[in-house]
Amino acid sequence: METKRIYLDYTATTPLDPRVLEAMLPYFNSTFGNASSIHSFGREAKAALEGSREKIAGFIGARPSEIVFTSGGTESDNAALFGAASAGSDRRRKQVVVSSIEHHAVLHTAAALQELGFDATFVPVDRRGFVDPEEVRRAVRDDTLIVSIIHANNEIGTIQNLPVIAAIVHEKGALFHTDAVQSFGKIPFSVAGSGVDLASFSAHKIYGPKGIGALFIKRGIEIGPTFHGGSQERNRRPGTESIPLIAGFARAAEIAVEEMEIEARRLTGLNKMMRKNLLKNVQGVIFNSPDQDALPNILNASIDSSKVEIDGEALIISLDLEGIAVTSGSACSSGSLQPSHVIKALGRDDATTKATVRFSFGRFTTEEDIVKASEIFGKIVARTGKVPG
């Protein structure tokens, strides 16, 4: 008999909600026009495009003209940082400031800018994974171009204090960007409330399709283009817009926002249950996700190397063999054997960092899944772990 697989990796990606698929289907065939065409087919596509843009803008308190559709979170992050660098409104601004727990889409973009002659400063986090706004104050300078601080971290779920950081950044006249890929649709987010000039979003984290996202660009902010081509997206992102993906993104956002409160409560319950069960079942378990000011759908745990020695990679593989799909860090780094830069930034030793499992829950996770996953995790640690000394 095949083991029932339990998916606890919703932070990596989510399945498409059937309601989202339904919203997308007409745009693959019956309403297939190019939104730039002036005939009726084009106008229909354009109406769907602009309707979707209005919806997404509305959910974050933005104007529709401030939303640019992109291919996802990675492109939005790149477009924000590179776009700020290439805008050229103030060539004296040469410093980029990011937190040490950014997603690689920001971290590696900052490193790429460094190669181009910009100064990159990486702001540390405390042992719980929070950016102290005073650290940002110490980092920013008169020549800071842009500061990028992730809203909710994709590995441990910590939610940063954006409005306070925004005020500090703006005192220096720099731009403020946030990667809101993980927080959007899960916790309240508004562009005015967070004080950002730029914000990145992605559909596939909220039961929407892969390959579509958005960048919020506050009115008046000058951003250079990442791509060159046609005049789509008000000259800010050329290329024929993918109406099926955009319509799916808008529908996914609509459902996420509608169900946010109830779902957050349910996920918080599952998260607490998982914590309790892990503490009961798993020897040496410690948590990297704080129990407050963090996303309700992420619980990141490690096996403390001073209590139990265990091979982190073998742990993930054993969990997978037993039908539990989790990851040790971000999806991008899980294939590369690199210990998570986020867990390291919390001050964990290398062995503990490697013995890390990120559980992330979602719309289709049940209490039964939680009980089963924690029992299997406990069994594997008992079987393969070694008490040091």
Ligand X SMILES: Cc1ncc(COP(=O)(O)O)c(C=O)c1O
213, 248, 296, 362: residue in contact with ligand X (rule CB under 6 A): 213
Please identify, using beta-carbon distances, which residue of 106 and 310 lies nearer to ligand X.
106
Written as one letter, the residue type at 104 is H
DSSP for 97-138?
EEETT--HHHHHHHHHHHHTT-EEEEE---TTS---HHHHHH
Among 210, 332, 375, 378, the active-site one is 332
Residue 179 makes contact with ligand X by CB under 6 A: yes
CA dist 198 → 81, 84, 288, 326, 346 (Å)? 9, 10, 28, 31, 27
95, 109, 202, 271: residue in contact with ligand X (rule CB under 6 A): 202
Written as one letter, the residue type at 158 is T
CA-nearest of 165, 106, 131, 129 to 294 is 129
Structure tokens given for 381: 């640690």
Site residue total, ligand X (CB under 6 A): 16
Residue nearest to ligand X (CB): 73
Whole-number Å distance between alpha carbons of 102 and 98:
7
The window from 58-66, 70-78, 160-168, 341-349 that contacts ligand X (CB under 6 A) reads 70-78
Residue 16 makes contact with ligand X by CB under 6 A: no
The window from 164-172, 176-184, 288-296, 349-357 that contacts ligand X (CB under 6 A) reads 176-184
Residue 181 makes contact with ligand X by CB under 6 A: yes
6, 17, 24, 72: residue in contact with ligand X (rule CB under 6 A): 72
Asked about 332 being catalytic, the answer comes back as yes
Please identify, using beta-carbon distances, which residue of 181 and 255 lies nearer to ligand X.
181
Structure tokens given for 374: 């924690």
Whole-number Å distance between alpha carbons of 344 and 386:
22
CA-nearest of 152, 99, 102, 148 to 340 is 102
Residues 6+ apart with CB under 8 A from 238: 225, 227, 228, 229, 230, 231, 232
Residue 208 makes contact with ligand X by CB under 6 A: no
Whole-number Å distance between alpha carbons of 319 and 233:
44
Residue 70 makes contact with ligand X by CB under 6 A: no
The window from 86-94, 179-187, 257-265, 336-344 that contacts ligand X (CB under 6 A) reads 179-187
Cβ at position 235, least distance to ligand X in Å: 23
Site string for ligand X, 323-352 (x = CB under 6 A): -------xx---------------------
Cβ at position 72, least distance to ligand X in Å: 3
Residue 144 makes contact with ligand X by CB under 6 A: no
35, 55, 62, 73: residue in contact with ligand X (rule CB under 6 A): 73
CA dist 313 → 156, 319, 328 (Å)? 18, 10, 8
Question: Residues with catalytic annotation?
Answer: 332
Binding site residues, ligand X, CB under 6 A: 72-74, 77, 103, 105, 150, 154, 179, 181-182, 202, 204, 213, 330-331
